[in-house]
């Protein structure tokens, strides 16, 4: 969904994502003189009103011409307009984190000007207002949910401090998430917070989609659950699964590749506990294909003799504290019986040693399952491990689509250094000046940051971040001990083109693992779904690019002001330079 409004030379387009909004702005070139940025004010239909915050501020002498009110903040865009032509708003990141609200959000965007080193008041004649519904993403048949992946962020440090406290210790499989996890001085008060509050904040919509899915099974005795699991230690999920185990309404295929098969690992502890509680023998099978059982899938099935598939949850999110609260991940829910029966068939064809051994030679491993109709968007699903010839054709088709993109390529992939024509195609497009390319990985090599007067793309690393930032910023949780920050495996092609597509799921998009791992790869050709993933890619790149480059650990705090009153076109000139990536970005997002 998109909403576009324009008035008096100012234009705003709002794109709907998963509980987030991408705002794109434009300003007629004739209106640039003395222009210093955009103010964004938000009004919700439950009477909340606030300004989006900036990360940095203007000089006080430029902005503070009246006494501050109690709720005023010099970092808000009321006093420090943002110097970008787009912004992604995620509700409850800063405001109202204890009480997220979903409904209609009205964004009031106003260009701001400085005359004689004084920030002028917002001109209502230049304020453009656009209203869009902000809620979890659903097409009816497809739900999409993303983790917040903000454990290394100013927002998390402000609310929860800079200590890694997702679990009380490294040994207990489950624990009481209502217990106090820590405290933080906020506005002079010692504010305590629980594990539940941390988990809810970081797990965001992916966590909600998972817990809602499991609760549907728990609340309906006519349903049972099948599970593909890789990492498996998230306490709320474990508790719900164990209830179903006692009732004999769950089967689990749990990976036992070497890293999941040590005596002290969480998966072994779960296996032992599950077997003591399960109503029936044989409700759990530990195994792997040629390599890992890498899927992360829940399948609701009828709790009767035919056991038909009803609903399926899949994606990149491991059912673990890392997967939900550290990694950037996605879940996809299919509210469709045809799709769910397909996943149920794959589960039945994998649940057992002989089944896993034979799977690669089955029809399930060598078919592009094309599904659409009855409200289901144009969807193709494949299930690995594949035979080599099938994997070759699959990778060639996706690579060709990436290399022949007409508008844009955006991606978030855990690693991009594996043998893979798909990953090679992404690297090729980063160097292109013909399309808009934005990407993020957890790899440290071949990082390409934005450079003025260049149209080539951006590829950043989530691992190359600064932990200790200059004042007034808080110290954040750093990479050591976190593992992967980007665990997504998705690629968007032409989200602003005529044939938008996204590839997502559990596959690492690596050629050899696609012939060895148990995985599922999903292709959606639906503009709304593709847009949701495109916004997620931009959100992550914005966040980690800022930590990579724009704020330096050796910077002087005096340099942290956005604007010091000096007349300069430097900050916005790039948005109007046809040979600059920022100009391409402005034009592509506003059209």
Q: Give the containing element (helix H, strand E) for 584.
A: helix 581-590
> In the prediction, which pLDDT does 565 show?
59
Extract the runs of DSSP E, i.e. beta strands, from 496-562: 501-505, 519-525
Radius of gyration of the chain (CA): 24
Q: CA nearest 231: which of 202, 214, 255?
A: 255
Per-residue DSSP letters for 315-327?
A: ES--BSHHHHHTS
Distance CA 571, CA 99 (A): 36
Residue 474 has what pLDDT?
74
Q: Are 269 and 492 a contacting pair, CB within 8 Å?
A: no
Question: Collapsing DSSP states into helix, strand and coil, what is residue 254?
Answer: strand
373 Cβ neighbours under 8 A, 6+ residues apart: none
Cβ atoms < 10 Å from Cβ of 448: 17
3-state SS class at 50: strand
Q: Coil, strand, or helix at residue 263?
A: coil
C-alpha to C-alpha distance for 250 and 223, rounded to whole angstroms: 10
What would the pLDDT profile of 160-174 be if each residue is shown by its tens digit?
Answer: 888 888 999 999 999
- Tokens for 485, please give them: 């920050």
Give the integer Cα–Cα distance in Å for 49 and 35. 25
List, in order, residues 6 or more apart from 429 with CB less than 8 Å away.
Answer: 402, 403, 405, 409, 435, 437, 457
- The H or E element spanning position 236 is helix 235-246
Note if the bond before 359 is cis, omega within 30 degrees.
no
Distance CA 480, CA 464 (A): 11
| Cα gap 327→153, rounded to integer Å | 13
Q: For the chain of 591 residues, list the mean pLDDT of each consecutive stretch of 10.
A: 95 97 96 93 92 83 70 83 94 77 95 91 96 95 95 86 89 96 82 93 96 98 98 97 98 95 95 96 95 97 96 98 96 97 98 96 97 94 98 97 97 89 95 94 82 90 74 70 84 97 97 96 98 97 75 42 61 92 96 89
**Stated length of the chain:** 591
Strand, helix or coil for residue 218: helix
> Using CA atoms, how far apart are residues 174 and 203, in angstroms rounded to an integer?
17
Residue bearing tokens 């009477």: 47
> Which single residue is written with the structure tokens 């910023």?
473
**C-alpha to C-alpha distance for 211 and 157, rounded to whole angstroms:** 26
List, in sequence order, the alpha helices (H) in 60-178: 60-63, 154-160
Please give the Cα distance from 331 to 218 (Å, whole number): 20
Tell me which DSSP letter residue 563 carries.
Answer: -
For residues 373 and 47, what is the distance between their CA atoms, to the nearest angstrom?
Answer: 40
Token pair in block for residue 357: 């051994």
The DSSP result for 198-212, as a single string, is HHHHHHHHHHHHHHH
Domains of the chain: 2-135 (2.60.40.10), 142-168+189-547 (3.30.870.10)
Task: Using alpha carbons only, give the angle 40, 41, 46 rounded to the nearest 5 degrees.
Answer: 145
* Strands, E assignment, 259-366: 284-287, 297-302, 309-315, 330-334
Q: Which two tokens stand for residue 573?
A: 């000139």
> Could you check whether the bond before residue 385 is cis, i.e. omega within 30 degrees of 0?
yes
What CA–CA distance (Å, rounded) separates 340 from 320? 23
504: DSSP letter? E
Looking at residue 552, what is its pLDDT? 42
Our measurement of the distance from residue 12's CA atom to the centroid of its chain's CA atoms, rounded to an integer in Å, reads: 23
b/e burial code for range 285-310 (CB count within 10 A of at least 16 → b): bbbbbebbbbbbbbbbbebeeeeebb
């Amino acid at each position: 969904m998109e909403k576009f409004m324009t008035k008096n030379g100012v234009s705003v387009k709002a794109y709907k994502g998963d509980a987030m909004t991408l705002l794109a702005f434009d300003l007629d070139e004739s209106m640039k003189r003395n222009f210093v940025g955009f103010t964004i004010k938000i009004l919700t239909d439950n009477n909340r009103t606030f300004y989006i915050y900036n990360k940095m501020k203007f000089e006080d002498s430029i902005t503070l011409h009246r006494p501050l009110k109690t709720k005023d903040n010099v970092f808000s865009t009321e006093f420090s307009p943002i110097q970008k032509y787009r912004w992604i708003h995620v509700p409850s990141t800063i405001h109202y984190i204890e009480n997220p609200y979903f409904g209609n959000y009205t964004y009031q965007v106003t260009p701001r000007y400085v005359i004689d080193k004084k920030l002028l008041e917002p001109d209502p004649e230049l304020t453009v207002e656009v209203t869009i519904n902000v809620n979890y993403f659903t097409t009816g048949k497809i739900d999409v949910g993303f983790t917040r992946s903000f454990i290394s962020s100013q927002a998390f440090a402000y609310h929860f401090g800079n200590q890694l406290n997702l679990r009380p210790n490294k040994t207990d499989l489950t624990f009481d998430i209502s217990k106090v996890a820590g405290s933080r001085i906020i506005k002079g008060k010692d504010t305590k917070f629980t594990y539940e509050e941390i988990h809810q904040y970081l797990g965001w919509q992916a966590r909600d989609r998972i817990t809602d899915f499991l609760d549907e099974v728990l609340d309906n005795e006519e349903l049972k659950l099948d599970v593909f699991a890789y990492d498996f230690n998230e306490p709320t999920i474990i508790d719900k699964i164990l209830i179903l185990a006692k009732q004999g309404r769950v089967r689990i295929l749990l990976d036992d590749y070497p890293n999941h098969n040590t005596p002290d690992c969480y998966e072994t502890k779960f296996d032992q506990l599950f077997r003591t509680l399960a109503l029936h023998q044989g409700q759990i099978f530990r195994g792997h294909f040629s390599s890992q059982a890498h899927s992360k899938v829940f399948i609701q099935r009828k709790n009767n003799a035919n056991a038909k598939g009803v609903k399926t949850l899949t994606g990149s999110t491991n059912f673990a504290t890392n997967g939900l609260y550290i990694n950037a991940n996605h879940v996809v829910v299919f509210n469709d019986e045809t799709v769910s029966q397909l996943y149920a068939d794959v589960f039945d064809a994998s649940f057992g040693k002989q089944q896993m051994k034979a799977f690669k030679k089955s029809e399930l491993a060598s078919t592009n399952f094309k599904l659409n109709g009855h409200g289901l968007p144009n969807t193709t699903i494949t299930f690995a491990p594949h035979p080599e010839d099938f994997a070759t054709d699959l990778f060639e088709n996706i690579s060709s689509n990436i290399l022949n993109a007409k508008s844009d390529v955006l991606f978030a992939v855990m690693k991009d250094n594996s043998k893979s024509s798909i990953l090679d195609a992404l690297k090729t497009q980063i160097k292109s000046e013909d399309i808009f390319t934005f990407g993020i990985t957890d790899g440290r090599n071949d990082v390409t940051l934005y450079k003025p007067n260049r149209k080539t793309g951006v590829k950043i690393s989530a691992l190359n971040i600064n932990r200790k930032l200059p004042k007034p910023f808080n110290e954040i949780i750093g990479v050591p001990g976190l593992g992967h920050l980007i665990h997504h495996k998705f690629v968007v092609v032409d989200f602003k083109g005529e044939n938008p597509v996204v590839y997502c799921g559990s596959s690492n998009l690596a050629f050899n693992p696609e012939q060895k791992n148990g995985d599922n790869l999903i292709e959606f050709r639906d503009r709304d779904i593709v847009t949701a993933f495109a916004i997620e890619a931009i959100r992550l790149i914005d966040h980690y690019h800022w930590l990579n480059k724009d704020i330096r650990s050796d910077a002087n705090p005096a340099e942290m002001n956005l604007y010091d009153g000096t007349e300069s076109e430097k900050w916005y000139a790039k948005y109007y330079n046809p040979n600059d990536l920022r100009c391409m970005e402005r034009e592509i997002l506003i059209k």
